[in-house]
Structure 1
Amino acid sequence: MKNLIIKTKRFLYILLVVPILLFTEATLSSCTYEELEIQQNFPFEISVMPVPKDIAQNETVEIRCRIVSSGKYTDTKYYLRYFQFDGTGTLRYYNEVPYSPNDSYQLSEQQFRLYYTSTSVVSQSFKIWISDSFGNEKEIEFQFNNKD
């Protein structure tokens, strides 16, 4: 009888220890990464308010833009560059110095206004590229006809 009690205790001990060992193994083996992975690279779209189709020489048009990201990472930086391939004009950010074509400028906000001033009497076309610090890039094209 004494042997039966000892064997029963051993069996119950094994039934208790095995699940604890399995739980410990599963918990420790699931922690293989030393650092928590944080997603930093989020795709984005550019939202632009409608702009006039026609512009006169020396007239300025306001272009309202907003970067709409599918996620938020605080260290993401956005950059703007432009190139004018028809006509002549200047593009600037608020009251700052006009941008130079093909130079990259960092944007301080995700919602911003650009001002395009025509210096031409013919139709004008230019493209704006907005990129982020992870290599994502969007392109917007603008075309203005001469008002005269």
Structure 2
Amino acid sequence: MTTFFKSFKIGFLPLYVLLAILISSVALVSCSKDDELEIQNNFPFEVQVMPVPKDVSNGQTVEIRMTIKRSGNYNNTKYFIRYFQFDGQGILRYYNEPAYLPNDLYPLPTEQFRLYYTSTSTVSQSFDVWISDSFGNEKKLTFQFNSSD
């Protein structure tokens, strides 16, 4: 009987080898670099703006309330602001910070903030504000004020 068991074990040896090769192949394929876990960190966003007055007079300051609404949450996302005034003249600032210079990029410390626009002209005024994030997503907002002088 011992000869029977020896031949029985030897008969299954190719099956064990085949099974080991199959398991190794599956393990190697599942560890492929193409199947790496992807962590999404680039989330588009929208900017909500509270209503602002239509008219502004020379020297008057208008408050512009904004909120950045993310489509996802990645804690290391940074937001930036820049603006360009193409009609009239005025000053745009973040809270009590120094006035923004046109086309310069400034960091936004929070996702809910207020800008203050002070008119320095007696004609209608228009300017664009761009909010961007550290991944290249950008939103353009246009503001227009009629002169009330």
Q: Which residue number corresponds to residue 25 of structure 1?
A: 25
> 1:8 & 1:76 partners in 2: Cα distance?
64
Q: 1:98-137: per-residue Cα shift (whole Å, max 9, x none)?
A: 1111111011111111111111111110000111112211
Equivalent runs, 1:1-148 vs 2, <5 Å: 18=18, 21-33=21-33, 36-148=37-149
The one-letter amino acid paired with 2:26 is A
Decide whether aligned partners of structure 1 residues 4 and 73 sit closer, same or farther in structure 2, where only a CA change above 3 A counts: same
Determine helix, strand or coil for the equivalent of 1:103.
coil
Determine helix, strand or coil for the equivalent of 1:109.
coil
> 1:50 & 1:14 partners in 2: Cα distance?
78
Q: Which moved more, 1:110-119 or 1:24-33?
A: 24-33
Q: 1:39-83: per-residue Cα shift (whole Å, max 9, x none)?
A: 222211111111111111111111111112222222221111000
Task: Report how many aligned residue pairs link the two structures.
Answer: 148
Structure 1: runs of 5+ lacking an equivalent: none
Determine helix, strand or coil for the equivalent of 1:139.
strand
Structure 2: runs of 5+ lacking an equivalent: none
> 1:60 & 1:143 partners in 2: Cα distance?
14
> 2:69 & 2:27 partners in 1: Cα distance?
39
Determine helix, strand or coil for the equivalent of 2:33.
coil
> 2:55 & 2:7 partners in 1: Cα distance?
95
Q: TM-score, normalised by structure 1?
A: 0.83
Q: TM-score, normalised by structure 2?
A: 0.83
> How many percent of aligned residue pairs carry the same amino acid?
59
